[in-house]
């Protein structure tokens, strides 16, 4: 197990270089001159743009830009945004908020998704199952901006139970509403996944055996059915963590959260290579660690899965 974990951590190195190179290249390939666009409809004097381009090394070939970035990276310098702020400062502000939001959303979707999916799977074809289906369909078909708008309007503007937007400290109670919105689509996935696995496993022999052995239904369902149903759900949650962090652009916009999704989106639109790459480099590490954690959880959930060597 230790060897396996160590091997996986070592694999982070090629993934880091592969992802940063690919993403830096993509930002480089974005159409248009990012510096000229900074000035909007009012272009500065002709010499100004050239000077600023040189300041950000944009006048150099792609591969040179990349190695300058990587070289600085290993000296702890992540470059600056086009407004002159160190990228490390931007990251230090965005990541803690996003981490709280994503983990909260993950907890919400995992808890309610598994609970609803479990009950739906146990009562397949019954009223609860049908209701869960309708809710899932609704969450799939209605885009996030609508769900966000409606929840914000009802709970914050009308009822006043929550703050309309999240303040700069972003405490957990203010993040609850955005986390609900963020969790909504994934919730549908988890309900469907859990329901399918549970209903399959209910028919499995080990459940019949366990029931025959006289175990209570609660124990049969809680220990045997649920545990065996969790492998795909846990995999999904592991993959979803990344989407919740980078993909929260719409939710962050609705609740004015200064997080990773919005920052990366803005940096992409501005063509800010160092910002995009630095954020994604951290995200890659998070992906790899989350996936590693999931793989280790497999072994706990399903004794058949063993990592030889």
Q: Which is nearer to another protein, 95 or 189 (CB)?
A: 189
- The CB-of-218 to another protein minimum distance in angstroms stands at 18
**Interactions with another protein, residue window 89-118 (CB under 8 A):** 89-90, 93
Angstrom distance (rounded) from CA 98 to CA 104: 10
Q: Which is nearer to another protein, 108 or 207 (CB)?
A: 207
**Interactions with another protein, residue window 153-172 (CB under 8 A):** 153, 156-157, 160, 163-165, 168
Looking at 65-73, 105-113, 133-141, 214-222, which segment touches another protein (CB under 8 A)? Answer: 133-141
**Interactions with another protein, residue window 199-238 (CB under 8 A):** 199-201, 203-207, 209, 224, 228, 231-232, 234-236, 238
Q: Judged by CB under 8 A, which of 110, 180, 255, 274 binds another protein?
A: 255
CA distances from 258 to 169, 199, 271, 306 (A): 10, 41, 19, 41
Angstrom distance (rounded) from CA 182 to CA 259: 13
- The CB-of-135 to another protein minimum distance in angstroms stands at 11
Task: Note whether 5 binds another protein by CB under 8 A.
Answer: no
Q: Judged by CB under 8 A, which of 3, 9, 22, 96 binds another protein?
A: 22
Angstrom distance (rounded) from CA 179 to CA 177: 5
Site string for another protein, 27-56 (x = CB under 8 A): x-xxxxxx-xxxxxxxxxxxxx--xx--x-
**Interactions with another protein, residue window 266-295 (CB under 8 A):** 266, 268-271, 276, 280, 283-284, 287-288, 291, 294
**DSSP H stretches of helix in the chain:** 2-10, 12-29, 34-38, 46-55, 62-73, 87-122, 127-141, 144-151, 172-202, 205-212, 217-219, 226-246, 249-254, 260-270, 273-301
Task: Note whether 176 binds another protein by CB under 8 A.
Answer: no
Q: Which residues pair with 159 in a beta bridge?
A: none
CA distances from 36 to 31, 33, 165, 193, 236 (A): 12, 6, 33, 48, 42
Instruction: State both tokens at 176.
Output: 């609850």
**Interactions with another protein, residue window 136-155 (CB under 8 A):** 136-138, 140-143, 145-146, 149, 152-153
- The CB-of-198 to another protein minimum distance in angstroms stands at 11
Task: Note whether 198 binds another protein by CB under 8 A.
Answer: no
CB atoms within 10 A of CB 80: 18
Looking at 58-66, 69-77, 104-112, 261-269, which segment touches another protein (CB under 8 A)? Answer: 261-269
Residues near 251 by beta carbon (within 8 Å), at least 6 away in sequence: 144, 148, 178, 181, 182, 257, 261
- The CB-of-67 to another protein minimum distance in angstroms stands at 19
**DSSP H stretches of helix in 82-168:** 87-122, 127-141, 144-151
Q: Which is nearer to another protein, 38 or 70 (CB)?
A: 38
């Amino acid at each position: 197990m230790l060897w396996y974990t160590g091997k996986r951590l070592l694999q982070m190195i090629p993934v880091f270089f592969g992802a940063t190179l690919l993403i830096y290249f993509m930002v480089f390939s974005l159409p248009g001159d990012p510096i000229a666009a900074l000035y909007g409809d009012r272009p500065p004097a002709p010499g100004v743009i050239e000077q600023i381009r040189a300041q950000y090394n944009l006048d150099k070939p792609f591969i040179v830009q990349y190695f300058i970035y990587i070289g600085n990276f290993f000296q702890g310098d992540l470059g600056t945004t086009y407004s002159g702020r160190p990228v490390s400062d931007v990251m230090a502000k965005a990541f803690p908020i996003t981490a709280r939001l994503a983990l909260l959303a993950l907890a919400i979707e995992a808890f309610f998704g598994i609970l609803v999916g479990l009950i739906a799977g146990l009562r397949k074809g019954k009223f609860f199952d049908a209701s869960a289906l309708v809710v899932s369909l609704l969450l799939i078909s209605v885009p996030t901006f609508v769900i966000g708008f409606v929840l914000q309007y009802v709970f914050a503007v009308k009822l006043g139970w929550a703050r309309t937007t999240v303040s700069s400290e972003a405490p957990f109670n203010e993040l609850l509403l955005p986390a609900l919105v963020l969790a909504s689509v994934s919730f549908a996935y988890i309900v469907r996944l859990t329901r399918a696995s549970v209903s399959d496993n209910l028919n499995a022999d080990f459940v019949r055996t366990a029931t025959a052995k006289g175990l209570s239904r609660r124990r049969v369902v809680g220990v045997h059915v649920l545990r065996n149903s969790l492998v795909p759900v846990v995999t999904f949650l592991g993959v979803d963590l990344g989407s919740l962090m980078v993909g929260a652009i719409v939710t962050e916009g609705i609740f004015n959260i200064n997080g990773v999704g919005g920052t990366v989106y803005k940096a992409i639109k501005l063509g800010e290579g160092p910002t995009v790459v630095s954020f994604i480099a951290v995200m890659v590490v998070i992906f790899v660690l989350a996936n590693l954690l999931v793989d280790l959880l497999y072994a706990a959930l399903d004794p058949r899965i063993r990592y030889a060597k």
